[in-house]
């Protein structure tokens, strides 16, 4: 995930590469987020125009999915699994400790690392038997 | 010398990448010629990173290796589990769908073929559509995603439908906590899934396929994309694409997944029409879980009879069980249906990681029931689990020690439903929020009897009135917690 500053021309290129994809709205939003680290408000109208749907429809998709963000993520952002298997090995305490250590914790629900919990993810890096120390 | 260092996410999450680098560096220092293979995990996750060194055709396993242990591993002095193939925990399993996982280089097509890969597809190519469908029906294979619907019947419906385009969609939105079998197969043996989908395409006359993988699995997505590119020439006219989810649990429900694949909000569709007749982009669509499709190549290769010789009752073949949560020996146990829960959690699992007694287990993900000790003797198959008041789901089992509070877990079930509900139907959207509030009152000790009755009533409304399993099954963990652990709810 990169975080280049918002650039209309680059965004247009990103959207243009998806022109022939079936059902393109979600993947366009994902591609914009992949490129910029978030989905700039202006991208919604651009996607609507490119795929001949209303801005409202694009907005609806954008706001439905937890992954899609309207602002760049903090460098201190971490995802910590808060689902049952990680609850069983103390993720509540890990979340509290991580917040106390200054991390911006987003609760996630399962990274598929349920035998080595608590699990956390920083960027695309999965962490097993997670501790605050390992998040750094 | 060949050295295997798992590239699986779980192994990476406890340092396997650093181990691979350290071993390569140590080997270079000693001037030893080594080939490092990033295999999938064997599934004995508590031993990860489990490094294997091949000597005289035998693979010796070294457990819990860190980057500081490279020298000891090369010397053979690091703690070992001996020859991995004879390690009882693994050797006692019946690996069918997972026969190659952890053994081969996941992206080597020659490894794949040397271990029986593409035999099923080759046989399917010599059969008629109806013969392939009949073989899958005959095998007794049922949907491994949780619903347990017979795969052959679904395939036949799609085969019999007339359309200019049909699709095979693999549901790899493995969102249930306590499950990771799909991920491990996709990372550790992706060609098996690809082959299974190509066979499904031949069987029903579909030329396009999608694998919908949750975004929480970036390594699986990348592995599948690589594998599809490598295998493309072997798939005839079958075209396969990977699509990433975007952090929505309910998109694991098949119709919500279709909406998401079409680029829309992942909102559940009413059925009928069945996706088999009007599925992706309104066309006939086979939707199967990773393990369902991943079991197909072996069924075609070895025949339906060999597959259905395993299992009990109407639960035939093998299930890939996943042992998770507060567990000493967590990981993957593939074995025939009918093993007892006790053998899984106390046998293979060896009890809790904390060493305290097991107080509860949750079987089948966040929508599965909480069981106490009295249910540990239940046979792990579709029907027995339902008879016991639970469900097998995707085969995940989460252990909790005696520090767990089941009222808190029941509250979480409702809370999770309120976070992840797609919002289409009222019992799920509003019922889940009311459920959280009602359980809070019970926990606070306010009008406990009245609120328990209200909660059970709410559960009935959600069960009977919700469109899909999200709202319909959320009451299962709630009610089972109430029934099996009444002391946590201020009652007797």
Domains held by chain B: number: 4
Residue of B nearest to A90 (CA): B326
Asked if residues B166 and B278 have their Cβ atoms less than 8 Å apart, the reply is: no
- How would DSSP label each residue in B342-392? HIIIIIIS-S-SSSSPEEEEEESSTTSPEE-GGGTTSB-SHHHHHHTTS--
Please report which helix (H) or strand (E) contains residue A79, including its range: strand A77-81
A2 has pLDDT over 80: no
Task: Report domain extents, chain A.
Answer: 8-64, 77-135
Q: Do A112 and B323 touch (CB under 8 A)?
A: no
Q: Which domain holds residue B379?
A: 313-401
Suggest the residue from B216, B283, B344, B368 to mutate for an interface test with chain A (most A CBs closer than 10 A).
Answer: B216
B13, B48, B263 member nearest A26 (Cβ): B263
**Same domain, residue pair B86 and B124:** no
**Same domain, residue pair B222 and B300:** yes
In this structure, are strands B239-244 and B208-213 parallel, antiparallel, or unpaired?
Answer: parallel
Judged by a CB distance cut-off of 8 A, whether residue A89 touches chain B is: yes
**Same domain, residue pair B138 and B282:** yes
d(Cα A45, Cα A32) in Å, to the nearest integer?
A: 13
**Same domain, residue pair B156 and B31:** no
Count other C-beta atoms under 10 Å from residue B182's C-beta: 29
Please report which helix (H) or strand (E) contains residue B276, including its range: none
**Same domain, residue pair B268 and B413:** no
In a domain, B97, yes or no: no
In a domain, B51, yes or no: yes
What six digits make up the tokens of B489?
């709810």
Q: Which residues of B touch A26 (CB under 8 A)?
A: 246, 260, 263-264
How many interface pairs between A and B have CB atoms less than 8 angstroms apart? 152
A3 has pLDDT over 60: no
Residue of A nearest to B267 (CA): A64
**Same domain, residue pair B176 and B141:** yes
In a domain, B20, yes or no: yes
Please report which helix (H) or strand (E) contains residue B324, including its range: strand B318-325
B422: domain CATH number is 1.20.1440.230
Q: Which residues of B touch A115 (CB under 8 A)?
A: 10, 45-46, 180, 322-324, 327, 330-331
Interface of A with B in 13-42 (CB under 8 A): 22-30
Q: Which residues of B touch A68 (CB under 8 A)?
A: 246-247
Judged by a CB distance cut-off of 8 A, whether residue B119 touches chain A is: no
Residue that terminates a domain, selected from B348, B381, B401: B401
Q: CATH classification of A77-135 is 3.40.30.10, yes or no?
A: yes
| Residue ranges for chain B with pLDDT beneath 50 | 492
Q: Do B13 and A22 touch (CB under 8 A)?
A: no
The whole-number pLDDT of residue B490 equals 82
The whole-number pLDDT of residue B491 equals 58
Asked if residues A94 and A130 have their Cβ atoms less than 8 Å apart, the reply is: yes
- How would DSSP label each residue in B471-483? HHHTHHHHHHHHH
**Same domain, residue pair B130 and B238:** yes
Q: Do A121 and B216 touch (CB under 8 A)?
A: yes
**Same domain, residue pair B141 and B253:** yes
Per residue in A55-113, pLDDT (tens digit) is 999 999 999 999 999 999 999 999 999 999 999 999 999 999 999 999 999 999 999 99
Per residue in B23-43, pLDDT (tens digit) is 999 999 999 999 999 999 999
pTM (2 decimals)? Answer: 0.97
Asked if residues B1 and B150 have their Cβ atoms less than 8 Å apart, the reply is: no
Residue that terminates a domain, selected from B52, B73, B91: B91
Cβ neighbours for B455, distance < 8 A, ≥ 6 positions apart: B435, B438, B439, B442, B478, B482
d(Cα B445, Cα B451) in Å, to the nearest integer?
A: 10
Interface of B with A in 50-89 (CB under 8 A): none
B363: domain CATH number is 3.10.20.600
Q: Which residues of A touch B177 (CB under 8 A)?
A: 81, 83-86, 109-110, 114
Q: In sequence order, what are the beta bridge partners of B3?
A: B36, B53
The whole-number pLDDT of residue A4 equals 72
ipTM over 0.85: yes
**Same domain, residue pair B371 and B457:** no
In a domain, B167, yes or no: yes
Return the closest-CA partner of residue B425 out of B455, B388, B395, B469: B469
Whats the size of chain B, residue-wise?
Answer: 492
Q: Do B264 and A61 touch (CB under 8 A)?
A: yes
Interface of B with A in 132-191 (CB under 8 A): 174-180, 182-183
Judged by a CB distance cut-off of 8 A, whether residue A126 touches chain B is: yes
Q: Which residues of B touch A56 (CB under 8 A)?
A: none
Q: In sequence order, what are the beta bridge partners of B336?
A: B318
For residue B442, the 8-state DSSP code is H
In a domain, B112, yes or no: no
């Amino acid at each position: 995930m990169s975080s280049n500053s918002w650039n209309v021309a680059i965004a247009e290129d990103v959207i243009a590469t998806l022109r022939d994809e079936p059902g393109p709205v979600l993947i366009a939003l994902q591609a914009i987020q992949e490129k910029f680290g978030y989905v700039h408000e202006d991208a919604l109208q651009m996607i609507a125009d490119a795929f001949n749907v209303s801005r409202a429809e694009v907005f609806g998709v954008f706001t439905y999915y937890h992954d899609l963000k309207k602002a760049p993520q903090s460098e201190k952002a971490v995802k910590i699994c808060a689902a049952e298997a990680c609850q069983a090995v103390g993720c509540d305490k890990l979340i509290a400790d991580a917040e106390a250590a200054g991390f911006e914790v987003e609760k996630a629900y399962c990274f598929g690392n349920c035998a080595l919990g608590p699990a956390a993810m920083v960027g695309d890096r999965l962490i097993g038997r997670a501790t605050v120390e390992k998040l750094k | 010398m060949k050295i295997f260092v798992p590239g699986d996410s779980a192994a990476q999450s406890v340092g396997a990448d650093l181990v691979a680098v350290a071993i390569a560096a140590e080997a270079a220092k000693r001037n030893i010629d080594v080939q490092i293979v990033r295999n999938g995990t064997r599934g004995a996750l508590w031993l990860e990173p489990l490094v294997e060194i091949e000597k005289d055709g035998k693979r010796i396993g070294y457990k819990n290796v860190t980057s500081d242990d490279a020298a000891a591993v090369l010397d053979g002095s690091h703690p070992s589990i001996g020859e991995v193939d004879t390690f009882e925990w693994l050797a006692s399993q019946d690996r069918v769908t997972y026969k190659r996982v952890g053994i081969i280089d996941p992206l080597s097509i020659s490894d794949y073929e040397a271990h029986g890969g593409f035999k099923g597809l080759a046989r399917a190519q010599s059969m008629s559509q109806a013969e392939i469908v009949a073989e899958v029906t005959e095998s007794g294979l049922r949907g491994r995603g949780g619903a347990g619907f017979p795969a052959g019947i679904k395939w036949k419906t799609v085969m019999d439908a007339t359309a200019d385009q049909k699709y095979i969609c693999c549901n790899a939105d493995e969102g249930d906590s306590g499950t990771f079998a799909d991920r491990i197969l996709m990372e550790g043996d992706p060609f098996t899934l690809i082959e299974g989908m190509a066979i499904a395409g031949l069987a029903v006359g579909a030329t396009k396929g999608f694998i919908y993988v949750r975004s929480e699995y970036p390594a699986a997505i990348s592995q599948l994309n690589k594998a599809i590119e490598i295998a493309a020439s072997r798939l005839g006219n079958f075209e396969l694409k990977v699509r990433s989810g975007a952090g929505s649990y309910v998109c694991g429900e098949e119709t919500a997944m279709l909406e998401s694949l079409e680029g829309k909000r992942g909102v559940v569709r009413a059925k009928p029409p069945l996706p088999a007749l009007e599925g992706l982009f309104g066309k006939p669509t086979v939707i199967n879980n990773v393990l369902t499709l991943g079991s197909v190549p072996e069924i075609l290769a070895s025949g339906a009879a060999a597959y259905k010789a395993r299992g009990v009752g109407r639960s035939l073949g093998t299930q890939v069980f996943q042992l998770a949560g507060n567990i000493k020996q967590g990981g993957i146990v593939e074995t025939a249906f009918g093993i007892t829960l006790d053998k899984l959690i106390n046998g293979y699992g060896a009890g809790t990681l904390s060493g305290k007694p097991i107080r509860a287990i949750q079987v089948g993900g966040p929508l599965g029931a909480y069981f106490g000790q009295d249910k540990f003797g239940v046979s792990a198959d579709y029907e027995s689990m339902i008879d016991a008041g639970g469900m097998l789901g995707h085969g995940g089992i989460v252990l909790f020690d005696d520090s767990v509070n089941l009222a808190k877990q029941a509250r979480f079930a409702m809370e999770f439903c309120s976070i992840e509900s797609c919002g289409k139907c009222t019992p799920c959207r509003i019922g889940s929020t009311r459920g959280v509030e009602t359980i809070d009152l019970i926990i606070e000790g306010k009008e406990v009897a009245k609120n328990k009755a209200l909660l059970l009533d709410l559960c009935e409304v959600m069960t009977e009135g919700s469109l899909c399993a999200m709202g319909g099954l959320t009451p299962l963990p709630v009610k089972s917690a109430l029934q099996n652990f009444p002391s946590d709810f201020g009652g007797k």
